[in-house]
Amino acid sequence: MATALVNGRVLGDAGFLEGHAVLVEGGRIATVAAAGDPRVRDADAVDLEGGWLLPGFIDAQVNGGGGVLLNNTPTVEGVRAIARAHRRFGTTGLLPTLISDRVGTMREAIAAVREAIARGVPGVLGIHLEGPYLAPARKGTHDASVFRVPDADEVALATSLGNGVTVLTLAPERVPADTIRDLVARGVIVCAGHTAADYAATRAGLDAGVRGFTHLYNAMTPIAGREPGVVGAALEDQGSWCGIIVDGVHVHPASLRVALAAKPRGKLFLVTDAMPMVGAGSPSFELYGETITAVDGVVRNAAGALAGSALDMATAVRNCVRLLGLPLEEAARMAATYPARFLRIDGERGRIAPGLAADLVLLDAALQVRATWIGGDMERHAA
């Protein structure tokens, strides 16, 4: 029997709809109809209590959550724990992200994500390989001792997931253009990140098929008057996508507003770059044998470099509204619609529209997550 989500403000393509209900059937959105529609009256009703019903958030960069780091626990249960932790914060689809590591760990992580998708672990859409084909000069918290240039065997490994989305972050000046073209031809979404490239090398990467930029402004050459750098190339290019971390720490709000003004609408999307403390009781975790700790919400390694974030997607949405002054509907699209387009899954997710997966999030008046749906399955969350 169909379920009708009633008494909420529903985010449609043209804005929020009042007096409408979302009918869910067979794990998909059957229709968005007026509250008085007979199909709504005949369905099992779920009262949204006047909340904001949004498409479920999609996070393309999630290193960990629930006390688990993918690098340390590259298993199906590790992937499941990460996805479960982030669901509480409105994320109904994510890419578990592997920080630069050795070939064996890469193989284990890809296999774990492949199996998690095959088993139907809720919310797992694919994998993000952040490295290890990066620039030592912009390594951040990554272990430069494992950096390398991918050979044919590693290209085959990086493209071997088979049943989900693969994003690969690399430094375009470190990887031959022909290798980038090969990765793209095999279906990988290639992003530039942790890169010391100049403007020309970045443009060459874009021409070879680089689709986006990983955590814009961070771990890349900045824009300057005589050398636009990676940031300048990213802001100038109209076709590429940029993930941004809106936590008030990684990027100054003014710089984020510059990016919003420079890029076409829809080309900036939210990521968390989350670490294991999200959804966990402990502020610390181990990475490469070193203890990383969040202090006042800022995650740094012993050398003082930012080491991912303690951000969740619901907080990122609130920050877009409160720090950047964006309307909630645009913040929600940056968390759902735009990442779905970036990942090329917008025919399945990212909007509240007939035929799409019933992946949804309900926010209350304070923009706190009150419920989520993945494939129509509802889970309530305490305020």
Does the annotation list 194 as a binding residue?
yes
Q: Say if CB 4 and CB 43 are below 8 A apart.
A: yes
Does the active-site annotation cover 359? no
Does the annotation list 215 as a binding residue?
yes
Does the annotation list 219 as a binding residue?
yes
Does the annotation list 86 as a binding residue?
no
Does the annotation list 142 as a binding residue?
no
Select which of 237, 273, 312, 359 is catalytic: 273
Does the annotation list 141 as a binding residue?
yes
The rounded distance, in Å, linking the Cα atoms of 255 and 293 is 26
Which sequence positions are flagged as catalytic? Answer: 273
Q: Binding site: what residues are annotated? A: 130, 141, 194, 215, 218-219, 226, 250, 306-308
Q: Binding site for Zn(2+): what residues are annotated? A: 130, 194, 215
